Structure 1
Amino acid sequence: MSDSKSNVRSGRFAGVDSTVALICAIGLCAFLFLVGAGWAVYGNTRSLTNAANWVEHTQEVLTALRRVSLLVERIEYRSSLYLSTKNEEQLARARASENQLETTLVHVKFLVSDNAQQLAALGRLETCTHQLSVSMAGFTLQSPMPADALKECYEATGVMLDQEQWLLDQRSKGSERSNVLFLSSQFAFVGLCLLALVALFIFLVRDALRRSKTEQDIANANTKLAETVRALEDRASETQLMTTARDELQLCQSVDQVYVAAARSLGLLLEGTNGSLSMINNSRHVVEVVSTWQGNDAAGTAIDFHPLDACCGLRSGQSRWRTPGVSEIHCTHFKGDPPERYLCKPISAHGNTLGVLCVVCANDAQEALVNARVDALRQMLQLTGMAVATLNLRMKLENQSIRDHLTGLFNRHFMQISLEREISRASRRRQTLAVFMLDLDHFKVFNDTFGHAAGDAVLKAAAEVFVSSVRAEDVACRYGGEEFTIILPDMSPEIAMQRAESIRRAVERLRVPIGRDQTAEVTVSIGIAMYPADGETGDALLHRADLGLYAAKRQGRNRVIAQREDQPSLA
């Protein structure tokens, strides 16, 4: 009896010992696993951090190289403006940009000090920059443009940009692989930890209640993990979308392209919503809808900004949500019944309000989506505003550089460029080209008699007649003083003579108010040259048209003359 009890007791102790040994073994394995997994996570984290640092370093190098390219463009642009306008301030700005270029090159050299290939290319860039520095130091109105040095700088910068972009692609791919490895190790670690926990709970707790609680804990953990994964995927998608949107906006060459690209990106960012971009026009008196996107529900998106203060967000200058129970005041820019949920957010750049974004949400889920992506929405509007402001400024500067400030016609420099371009086009297409040289008759006497203000009024009025009398593809320019030039592509000699006569008659009918109850009568003399009959170069055509103009002056003015090769020159 005692022997049997002893055997039972021994069996129990043996079972307890084996359970304890198994639990200890499982605990030891779990400990070793945790140590190994922690070390793996640490290694992956370091690898991920290093990859991210290299990507950031490469992006910094790209930024510095783009600044080098921008400074070279500024030097070229300011030098060209100096030669065309003789404005010493433009030369000073060009030299300032050259000084900034040298400083930037020092920074670039520091950044690429670990890259022998880039250092070799940098030597080429430093050489051409030195040549450019020498050219700019002694640059005067008689100096030629340092075209060779500029071209070499562009090419050297382009080589370095291509190499660094290749490095960025390679390092970005490495970073992505590190991300994948890191996420894989995390998922593996979480899965193995869950298995270890399940095994430990099975051996430590046998009752159903604890087992049920353990299963519930595991389910909750999986739910949180899924939510975390979805959040990470959403953030990655949002980041990719912002990157694509930024690249798209940088490629836009007009504000209309910016509006379309911004609306498309906003539609993807705020999926399912409806919305519109509305911009304030140049006169600051009208707000116009420039682009829209349609989501799952197209109701309530028709907008009419009349009066101008119809939008509460635009009026207050701040983002404004209209939601039931929070704000009951509606904007009045909707056609028909306004929607229940919408966001009005002003678009600004450089401290100026450019327009307003209106996002319409059909339900609470869409409203939550917009609120969750409010930072990305803010960045998108900042990118859009900066793109619009930059393009508007570029258009303004380009217009100022090619227009005559008094008449609004193209200036002489632009005329020379256009003439060469149109001659090349006419040569390729085997077409004719007409060139008019026009001169207001007795203008100097008129200017001396009635004053410069009256003379300016006559010049403006004549310029308006020229613009209204030619086609959209024709180029009307102020050649200098009271002389004008009109380039008419694809124009036969007969039609050119008719067009010139039409202009002459229109000017002859012109009456320009120059004082109280006093008007000026104006006439114009016109010389015509035809490509290729009268010349195959711009100088030859201008000379031939000038001969016709002189002939018209000698024959009594207020007439049109086409000077032919067989006619004697009256110059």
Structure 2
Amino acid sequence: MPRRLRLANRIGLPIAALIFAAVGVGVLLGAQRFIADANQVAHTNEVIASVDAVEARLRDAEAAQRGYLLTDDVDYLAIYRLSREQTRPLLDRLAHLVGDNPQQLQRVGALSALRDRRIAQIETNLGLYRQGGLPAAQAGIDREVLEVSSAIRGQAQQLVERERELLVARGVSSRRSADILRALALLGIPLGIAVVGAVYWMLVREIRRRGKAERASTQANLRLRESVEQLERHTADLAELNRYGSLLQNCMKPEEAVALTSQLLSRLLPGTGGTLYRIRASQDYAEELAHWGEHAAASTALLPLEQCWALRRGQPHLLRAHGETLRCAHIHPPAIDVELNTACLPLAAQGHQLGFLYLSSASPAMLGRMELVQAVTEKLSMALHNLALQERLRIQSIRDPLTGLFNRRYLEESLGRELARCERRGLPLALLMLDLDHFKAFNDLHGHPGGDALLAGFGRLLSSLVRGEDIACRYGGEEFTLILPEATSEQAGRRAAEIGAAVRALRVEYLGRELPAITVSIGVAAFEGDGDSAGMLLQRADRALYRAKRSGRDRYETEIAALPVA
């Protein structure tokens, strides 16, 4: 090799390396400046976003306050408290972001003080609402509230306007840095081509290294894709669960909640069979309530509670294929050899067991979603418990606890409704007013517990004598009423006679002894399309009852004629 060529090879690479390094340093410095400018722009955008977030949380707090005042819904109060607590860390973050700008930091301090004043105003208004209701809360909203809200918006606007001015200046600097970086890159391209030959061997080695890195990156991307898919599925499940919870709160009957749950689980667990069981009121058996899908292993429709490990342990009982966990006795082993995965999850709320959910599948994927299924069962348990409580409260509000008959409030609601229905359809209606004869003397002789026992026995008797459409009520004390829809005065008279005979034959035991027999006086009033109101009909029945008692008791009277009970 000629000496000149050897010299060129000897000094060419170092010179090319120096040139390449110089270009690289220039590009590096330009890139650093560009990155610094970009960071400043990002900082400005973050400050603006933080200001917007503070305003948004304050607006959310005000909106939640208004919602609570208008609806008295505690969910709005929870939203207000959450929004109130979120504004403080947002303001602290904003103060940290503008810490290098004294003017902006002063504005943030002013905004924080205004926020405290506004929150104090809201708290005062809520206190007025708790003391005096909505009128008091409305009276407490004065001009100062509007002034503070306006001041908050003005202070936030000043912060944003100043940041936008900085954003314009930083944008100009960023574009200048980009131009410098572009020029350095264009200069480095031809110089880079000049050194390609000298570094060819390094490129070959780099290509090999990159190939290995790409293979590693491909595997990492696959893992990342799986993680993203899992995250998306989890997000979708949460959305489905939230929607389910919202719908569940609006269910009026347990059957609606069960149907909603069946539909949800059939979507979330495809290829899985499911059965919902309810514990009977006797607390000794669980019976099938709903079923969906096809089970890998069938389950008994009616089973003693001790046959399910989930009910015995009060926690989920899972059985994996080829696992060593004991199988519940209510699960029938499949006829063919398949991988069996089962899960029993108890339904319980407030310490009371309501039933359990049984799932089975040949795929182990079902068991991987038990956390979601458990969340569903918890929501369902609470919903069923609340519905049962609502039903008990409803019954208590319309039933007399001693006699089991409807109370006077229900009578007043039902009589007007039945009268309107019969008048609209041209049908008759009769009303019986009943009074136990000499009940005060009976009470004085046998005491109030004895009188209560007699009233309870009479309530049971009256319930057994009425039709499904009749409405038997305790009017008050020893007085009772019986609404007979679509019954004429003659039919009502026959019914009164039957009741009188049944009361004379009534025998009630109290403290191991039989109480004396009693009689009943009955007043009959009939509505046959003559335009009577509920109050008028009650008055007529009461007058007829008064005549029956004045005429010797143990009989019934109508407004037309007096007839003996027998």
Q: Deviations over 1:389-418 (max 9, x none)?
A: 222222222322322121011112222232
Equivalent position of 1:344 in the other structure: 344
Q: Which stretch has the larger CA shift, 261-270 or 15-24?
A: 15-24
1:484 maps onto 2:480 in alignment: yes
Distance 1:34 1:235 in 2: 36
Equivalent position of 1:249 in the other structure: 248
Q: Deviations over 1:416-437 (max 9, x none)?
A: 2322333344455554432221
SS of match in other structure, 1:367: helix
Q: Which letter maps to 1:470?
A: V
Equivalent position of 1:159 in the other structure: none
Q: Deviations over 1:214-257 (max 9, x none)?
A: 22022123212312321221121022012101101111122232
Distance 1:108 1:423 in 2: 52
Equivalent position of 2:403 in the other structure: 407
Q: Which letter maps to 2:360?
A: V
Q: 1:385 to 1:33 in 2, by over 3 A?
A: farther
Q: Which letter maps to 2:544?
A: G
Distance 2:300 2:31 in 1: 64
**2:204 aligned residue (183, 203, 206):** 206
Q: 1:486 to 1:37 in 2, by over 3 A?
A: farther
Alignment of 1:216-365 (within 5 A): 216-294=215-293, 297-304=294-301, 306-335=303-332, 337=334, 340-365=340-365
Alignment of 1:473-512 (within 5 A): 473-512=469-508
Equivalent position of 2:386 in the other structure: 390
1:462 maps onto 2:461 in alignment: no
Answer whether contact 2:488 2:528 (CA < 8 A) is retained: no
Distance 1:22 1:384 in 2: 68
Q: Which stretch has the larger CA shift, 316-325 or 110-119?
A: 110-119
Distance 1:308 1:244 in 2: 32
How many aligned residue pairs are there?
Answer: 470
SS of match in other structure, 1:405: coil
Q: Deviations over 1:514-543 (max 9, x none)?
A: 576746434333222233656632221110
Q: 1:56 to 1:280 in 2, by over 3 A?
A: farther
Answer whether contact 2:525 2:540 (CA < 8 A) is retained: yes
Answer whether contact 1:406 1:456 (CA < 8 A) is retained: yes
Q: 1:104 to 1:324 in 2, by over 3 A?
A: closer
Answer whether contact 2:295 2:360 (CA < 8 A) is retained: no
Q: Which stretch has the larger CA shift, 407-416 or 525-534?
A: 525-534
Equivalent position of 2:367 in the other structure: 367
Distance 1:104 1:231 in 2: 31
Q: Which letter maps to 1:216?
A: R
Q: 1:41 to 1:282 in 2, by over 3 A?
A: farther
Alignment of 1:402-551 (within 5 A): 402-429=398-425, 431-514=427-510, 518=514, 520-531=516-527, 533=529, 536-551=532-547
Alignment of 1:9-88 (within 5 A): none
Q: Deviations over 1:307-364 (max 9, x none)?
A: 2211112111222222245433111122565983222222322233333232323222
Q: 1:54 to 1:432 in 2, by over 3 A?
A: farther
Answer whether contact 1:441 1:557 (CA < 8 A) is retained: yes
Q: Deviations over 1:367-390 (max 9, x none)?
A: 2233xxx1x333333322222222
Q: Which letter maps to 1:327?
A: E
Q: 1:473 to 1:31 in 2, by over 3 A?
A: farther
Answer whether contact 2:347 2:377 (CA < 8 A) is retained: yes
Answer whether contact 1:109 1:122 (CA < 8 A) is retained: no
Distance 2:408 2:254 in 1: 28
Q: Deviations over 1:25-54 (max 9, x none)?
A: 887798788778878888888888888888
TM-score, normalising length: structure 2: 0.67
Answer whether contact 2:61 2:81 (CA < 8 A) is retained: no
Gaps of 5+ in 1: 74-100, 134-148, 154-199
Q: 1:58 to 1:491 in 2, by over 3 A?
A: farther
Distance 2:528 2:311 in 1: 58
Q: What do you get for the CA RMSD once the two structures are aligned?
A: 4.8
TM-score, normalising length: structure 1: 0.67
Percent identical residues: 31
Q: 1:115 to 1:249 in 2, by over 3 A?
A: farther
Larger Rg over CA atoms: 2
Answer whether contact 1:436 1:528 (CA < 8 A) is retained: yes
SS of match in other structure, 2:277: strand
Q: Deviations over 1:269-309 (max 9, x none)?
A: 44433223323334433323333332xx4332433453221
Q: 1:311 to 1:23 in 2, by over 3 A?
A: farther
SS of match in other structure, 1:487: strand
Distance 2:219 2:73 in 1: 59
Answer whether contact 1:64 1:107 (CA < 8 A) is retained: no
Answer whether contact 2:62 2:80 (CA < 8 A) is retained: no
Equivalent position of 1:79 in the other structure: none
Q: Which stretch has the larger CA shift, 107-116 or 5-14?
A: 107-116
